[in-house]
Amino acid sequence: MPDASPVVPADRTGPRVFEGTPLRTLDEDALLARVLPLYPTGPDLQVPPGDDAAVVATSPRTVATTDTVVLGRDWLDEWSSGEDVGHKVVAQNLADVAAMGAVPTGVLLTLVADPEVGLEWVLDHARGVARACRDARVAVLGGDLSSASAGVVMVSVTALGRLDVDPVLRSGARPGDVLAVRGELGLAAAGLLLLQQGRADRHPDAVARQRRPRPPLADGPAAARAGATSMLDLSDGLARDAGRVARASDVVVEVEEAALAPDVDRLREALGEREARDCVLSGGEDHALLATFVPGGLPAGWRRLGSVRARRAGEAARLLVDGRPVTRPGWDHFTPGG
């Protein structure tokens, strides 16, 4: 996540937030007339945006989640375009749906913006939302617009999903389970670090992953069908999120350092050994999936990271890496890095 580090311009495309035609020159209907045609629909959307509310056909059990990003806190205009932001906020919400074992079906959007924000940025953002939704085969169901104080831009997404099997919770890990990941670790955090350091050219793939994560959405429902005992979206880093599984399940989760070697190797040349390891272990926003499975039940494409065991007498539920606690647990919205 962006912090108070000096802003170093990085290669990006698309209009800036406060450039172009100010939103104050349009009314809400005129803005919606420009934005809504960009968004995909779907067969489950029975009444599209335009009425007081959308009507969507849902399954007997529907998963719902929401997330908000704020200019200056969750993204910087110097680093990410409107399209980047649109893609990212959709991806991170759909990853939460997939982590429950559900198939994403639709999103609701909210934009809260200073009237001086440029129309061009808003349309660029809408294109990012639309592309991410089309890629995931989900519909944009509707949303809301609101003005805000000077300098404020906030984007919120609520995502829905269809649950065809029992939900996979954080609390289901059991002693003897295998801990596994679907996706790569540390790339997004490395991209952020390189942007902060003004060295984006050192690892373009990492910077691209920071701007536009690619969660393995289909693997969440597939893992649920394969019998995953627990699962979550790796949004705040392996250390913090694996610790959440441990506490919710009242177990000890043990990660093997050697299992992280491919991820560290991928970043070592750009960052050095220590920073590469920190990104892999504690860096967030990759939106890979972390899950536990019974021995022998690992689905194709998943990579073993470690195991789950029972707590010993007097021992707290926690994460260990090669038997040692982690000193930098990962991202927290109110105590970053703590």
Annotated binding residues for ATP: 143-144, 170, 235
In this structure, what DSSP letter does residue 178 have?
E
Check: CB of residue 43 under 8 Å from CB of residue 53: no
Q: How far apart are CA 231 and CA 316, in angstroms?
A: 21
Name the binding residues: 52, 65-67, 74, 96, 143-144, 170, 233, 235-236, 285, 331
Q: How far apart are CA 65 and CA 86, in angstroms?
A: 17
Question: Tokens for 328?
Answer: 């930098």
Q: How far apart are CA 212 and CA 303, in angstroms?
A: 22
Give the Cα-Cα-Cα angle 89, 90, 96 (nearest 5 degrees): 95
Nearest by Cα to 90 from 73, 112, 71, 110: 110
In this structure, what DSSP letter does residue 257 have?
G
Nearest by Cα to 145 from 32, 30, 279, 6: 32
Q: How far apart are CA 182 and CA 301, in angstroms?
A: 7
Name the binding residues for substrate: 74, 285, 331
**E strand or H helix that includes residue 91:** helix 82-99
Q: How far apart are CA 37 and CA 130, in angstroms?
A: 10
Q: How far apart are CA 312 and CA 251, in angstroms?
A: 9
Question: Tokens for 314?
Answer: 């007097």
Q: How far apart are CA 279 and CA 262, in angstroms?
A: 13
Nearest by Cα to 322 from 306, 336, 303: 306
Name the binding residues for Mg(2+): 52, 65-67, 96, 144, 233, 236
